[in-house]
Amino acid sequence: MKIHIIEIGTFQLPPSRPLKDLIPEIKKIKLSKGLPVAFKLDSIIIDWHSPLPEDVEEIVLKPLFPEDRESLEVLRHTASHILAQAVKELFPEAKLGIGPAIDEGFYYDIYYPKPFNEEDLKLIEKKVKEIIKKNLPLERKVLERSEAERLFSELKEDFKLELLREFEDSQISVYTQGNFVDLCRGPHLLTTGQVRAVKLLSVAGAYWRGNEKNPMLNRIYGTAFFKEEDLKAYLELLEEVKKRDHRRLGKELELFLIEEDIGAGLVIWLPKGALVRKIIEDFWKEEHLKRDYHLVYTPHIALRDLWKTSGHLDFYSDNMYPPMELENRAYQLKPMNCPFHIYIYNQKRRSYRDLPLRLCELGTVYRFERSGVLHGLLRVRGFTQDDAHIFCREDQLEDELIRVLDLVIYFLKLFGFQEYQIYLSTRPEKFVGPPEIWDKAEKALKSALEHKGLAFEIDPGEGVFYGPKIDLKIKDVLGRFWQCSTIQVDFNLPERFDLVYVSEDNRFHRPIMIHRALLGSLERFFGVLIEHYGGAFPFWLAPIQVRVLTITDRNILYGEKIFQELKSAGFRVDKDFRNEKINYKIRSAQMEKIPYMIILGDQEEQRQTLSLRKRSGEVLQDLTLSEVITLLRSENTLSSIH
């Protein structure tokens, strides 16, 4: 067979031989990037061990080198095998689950009667490094199904057997290194020594195949790179992530509080955090009113029967707080706002002329979350959705969806999020409503996305039973994605609450409902914002925009005057007139991440000027107050948009 490797050359290989056989020949060529790690055949990654297609005479391979993203996948997959080998050597009774490469590294799920702890992890890491040092060659073998079953039952690898029995192929591939064997499709490196930099990061419990009914395995997470410096850079990134952790910054910057005595997952917004929230809320309301939404407020609890009608008791009760009984009636803390908005729709007879009816609310809801899943502001039990429900006619659906998408993107960009992952989830197996309308709604969602020129992926069958939806994840400054926005079409609730409007033909028709949240929940969005900006909010969001600092006590009077003038100019300003050195006061302001400091001493006072220090450290001297005000005003993104 003729093998053409791009930019390397063309080689001849006898049939059913692996690429490995070509190594001596390839090594003779001067390769600027060294020997390839693996190859790409069309869109699949193959390694030096992989069997090549048999029915063709010629294939073209794209070589993958350490700098290619896909090579890392191969490396990490091998690293996970090394991890498994290390564990098996140290703990022979351990049983292996699965061990894939993941975005940031790899893991292996391993059963062992006694769960592993941090100390075991250190031991295992040591062993991993030994195996790497031995530079064991990897081999790929193909076994008959029965042979493979015999092998893994001899090895007492129950989980592997379970996997094996579900495979359809009669031939099973395994990879070996030293005396370690693992059921595996590949691809892998040539030798364990190619894994130059590896680190085990954590152990955690993980159910076999993610199912709570299955036994719990130990998941060992690690990461690996071709170069030590890449590992170092990654560990530094982890440090950076830690520094930006909204829970830490929330404490340091006094933004919010989650307090054991108050309750897990319940958020207290401290004055500074509350101020940021107020800015977001004011802006949100204004923008919605501009776009012909009606602002509404609804109660936090309601009679439980409401949730029976809505169907939430049937499919959502696990997430709902238990009922409260009073005067023989059961009340329910609300997990969603929709039923209330439905009653607003139903408050009077609606005409086709009333549609679309857009109701919006910053509605606080309570959902019970299992204690183990709570996480700072990102996962809480009480939160405020920036919710809206749009009731429209079928012919208005696409237009409304476009308008919603417009608004989403407008908001997200303003908050500094430029990149998104968008998923369109389509009809699941269990669904309500006529399939034709589903098709129409899916089409409407799709063309709305296309109309906005937004790239998206389709998640087939992942829609909620009541309608198709668009989920939007935003990418933060560290490249992490967060789900915030969601747009869902609903055919179910209008049916359950028997919503109608009177059409031109004087007959009743059923409206379609759109649920949508742009920011998702204010709590989560705030958490994401804190991490995105590392606590250094842009000027328009900063709880304190400017701080006035005096050099000595002599300047307090002048400082007070400047402070008052900035305040009446509409800025969020505070002052630091403490009897401390200027360096000390600058340091405090800097650590509080205040965008601007105004520093004044005798010199400024005499000349009636100011010194302005930006958060970046840049200093502008000798400015007049009106120059400063002009400069600050130009910083205000919001006013420049309005």
CB 598 within 8 A of CB 631: no
Q: Binders of RNA among 62-101, rule CB under 7 A?
A: none
Q: Is 206 in the site for RNA (CB under 7 A)?
A: yes
Q: Is 113 in the site for RNA (CB under 7 A)?
A: no
3-state SS assignment for residue 466: coil
Q: Is 380 in the site for RNA (CB under 7 A)?
A: yes
CA–CA separation, 447 and 115 (whole Å): 51
| Cα-based distances in Å from 500 to 126, 247, 293, 512 | 69, 46, 20, 10
In the residue annotation, 515 being an active-site residue is answered as: yes
Which residue matches tokens 């290989």? Answer: 13
User: Nearest approach, Cβ of 184 to RNA (angstroms)?
Assistant: 20
Which residue stretch of 85-93, 450-458, 580-588, 627-635 sits at the interface with RNA (rule: CB under 7 A)?
Answer: 580-588
Residue 535 in the binding site for RNA (CB under 7 A): no
Does residue 328 bind RNA (CB under 7 A)? Answer: no
Among 117, 146, 153, 171, binds RNA (CB under 7 A): 117
Q: Exactly one of 54, 55, 103, 118 binds RNA (CB under 7 A); which one?
A: 118
Choose which of 601, 625, 627, 636 interacts with RNA (CB under 7 A): 601
Question: Would you count residue 238 as binding RNA (CB under 7 A)?
Answer: no
CB 578 within 8 A of CB 628: no
Q: Is 115 in the site for RNA (CB under 7 A)?
A: yes
Report CA torsion sign: 158, 160, 162, 168. Answer: negative
Under 8 Å CB-to-CB from 87, ≥6 apart: which residues? 94, 108, 110, 112, 124, 127, 220
Radius of gyration of the chain (CA): 31
> Residue with structure tokens 């691809």?
187
Closer residue to RNA (CB): 250 or 511 = 250
Where in 605-624 is the site for RNA (CB under 7 A)?
A: 611, 613, 617, 619, 621
Give the residues across from 264 on adjacent strands: none
- Map residues 432-471 to x or -, x wherever contact with RNA holds by CB under 7 A: ---------------------------------------x
The stretch among 30-38, 68-76, 205-213, 415-423 that binds RNA (CB under 7 A) is 205-213
* Residue number with CB closer to RNA (348 or 430): 430
204 binds RNA (CB under 7 A): yes
Question: Could you say which of 341, 367, 427, 613 is catalytic?
Answer: 367
CB distance 489 to 516 below 8 Å: no
Exposure class string for 488-521: b at 16+ Cβ within 10 A, else e: bbbbbbbebbebbbeeeeeeeebbbbbbbbbbbb
Burial 574-603 (b: 16+ CB within 10 A, else e): bbbbeeeeeeebbebbeebbbbbbbbbbee
Active site residue 484: no
246 tagged catalytic: no
Separation CA 519–CA 70 (nearest Å):
34
For RNA, the closer of residues 109 and 398 by Cβ is 109
Q: Which of 31, 60, 296, 374 binds RNA (CB under 7 A)?
A: 374
Tokens describing residue 579: 């009897």
387 annotated active-site: yes
Name which of 143 and 612 has its Cβ closer to RNA. Answer: 612
Active site residue 338: yes
- Considering the rule CB under 7 A, would residue 372 count as an interface residue with RNA? yes
Interface with RNA: number of residues (CB under 7 A): 78
Nearest approach in angstroms of CB 250 to RNA is 10
| Beta-carbon count within 10 A of 606 CB | 9
| Alpha carbons 155 and 504: distance in angstroms, whole number | 74
388 phi and psi, to 5 degrees? -155, 150
Residue 15 binds to RNA (criterion: CB under 7 A)? no
Q: Is 111 in the site for RNA (CB under 7 A)?
A: no
> What's the closest the beta carbon of residue 106 comes to RNA, in angstroms?
13
Residue 265 engages RNA in binding (rule: CB under 7 A): yes
Q: Are strands 9-12 and 2-5 parallel, antiparallel or unpaired?
A: antiparallel
Q: Give min distance, CB of 503 to RNA, in A.
A: 31
> Identity (one letter) of the amino acid at 273?
G
Least separation in angstroms between residue 312's CB and RNA is 12
Contacts for 274 with CB less than 8 Å, ≥ 6 apart: none
- Per-residue x/- mask for RNA, residues 241 to 260, rule CB under 7 A? ----x-xx--xx-----x-x
Quick check: 552 binds RNA (CB under 7 A)? yes
Q: Which of 337, 486, 492, 545 binds RNA (CB under 7 A)?
A: 486
Catalytic residue among 88, 219, 334, 338: 338
Structure tokens at 58: 């010629």
CA–CA gap between residue 84 and residue 154 (Å, rounded):
17
Question: 389 an active-site residue?
Answer: yes
In angstroms, the CA 385 to CA 400 distance is 20
Q: How far is the CB of 10 from RNA (least distance, A)?
A: 44
C-beta closer to RNA: residue 81 or 547: 547
177, 194, 332, 385: which is the annotated catalytic residue? 385
Q: In angstroms, rounded to a whole number, what is the distance separating the alpha carbons of residues 147 and 150?
A: 5
Q: What are the tokens at 196?
A: 């130059």
Q: How far is the CB of 628 from RNA (least distance, A)?
A: 12
What positions carry a catalytic annotation? Answer: 338, 367, 385, 387, 389, 469, 515
